[in-house]
Structure 1
Amino acid sequence: MAYRNGVYAAFDGQGKTNPSESDIRYFNLLKLWTKDEDFKYIDSHQKTNAVRDSSKEETLKRALRERLSNSKVMILILSNDTNYDRGFLNYEIEKALDHYKLPLVITYPDIEGNINKQWPDLEKRWPKALKERLKDNSRDDLSCLHIKFSKEQISRALKYMTVHDIKYKGPRLY
Structure 2
Amino acid sequence: MAYRNGNYAAFYVSEPFNESNLGASATKDFVSYNLLKAWKSNDSTFPFIDSHNKNYNVRDGSDWEKTLKPRLHDRLNNSKNIILFLSSITKNSKALREEINYGIGTLGLPVIVVYPEYSDKSDIINCSSKTFKQQIKNLWDKLPAFRDSMNSVPTLHIPNKKELIRKALNNKDFMINSKCTADQYFYSC
1:26 matched to 2:35? The reply is: no
Structure 2 residue runs without a partner (length 5+): 16-21, 127-131
- Alpha-carbon distance, 1:23 to partner: 1.4
Greater percentage in helix: 2
1:158 matched to 2:169? The reply is: yes
RMSD of aligned alpha carbons: 1.7
- AA aligned to 1:12 is Y
Deviations 1:13-70 (A, max 9, x none): 1447151234110011010010213313321110111111210111100000000000
1:116 matched to 2:125? The reply is: yes
Residue 73 of structure 1 corresponds to: 81
- Alpha-carbon distance, 1:132 to partner: 1.5
- Pick closer, same or farther for the CA change 1:18–1:95 going to 2, 3 Å: closer
Task: Say how many residue pairs are matched.
Answer: 167
SS state at 1:146 partner:
strand
SS state at 1:67 partner:
helix
**Partner Cα distance (1:67, 1:108) in 2:** 22
- Alpha-carbon distance, 1:112 to partner: 4.6
- AA aligned to 1:125 is L
For the 8 Å contact 2:10–2:83, the answer to whether it is kept is: yes
Structure 1 residue runs without a partner (length 5+): none
For the 8 Å contact 2:8–2:82, the answer to whether it is kept is: yes
Matched-pair identity in %: 36
1:5-154 alignment, distance < 5 Å: 5-15=5-15, 17-35=23-41, 36-58=43-65, 59-83=67-91, 85-113=92-120, 114=122, 115-117=124-126, 119-126=133-140, 127-134=143-150, 139=151, 141-154=152-165
Q: TM-score, normalised by structure 2?
A: 0.82
Deviations 1:72-117 (A, max 9, x none): 011000011111x223111101111111110000010121541212
- Alpha-carbon distance, 1:155 to partner: 0.9
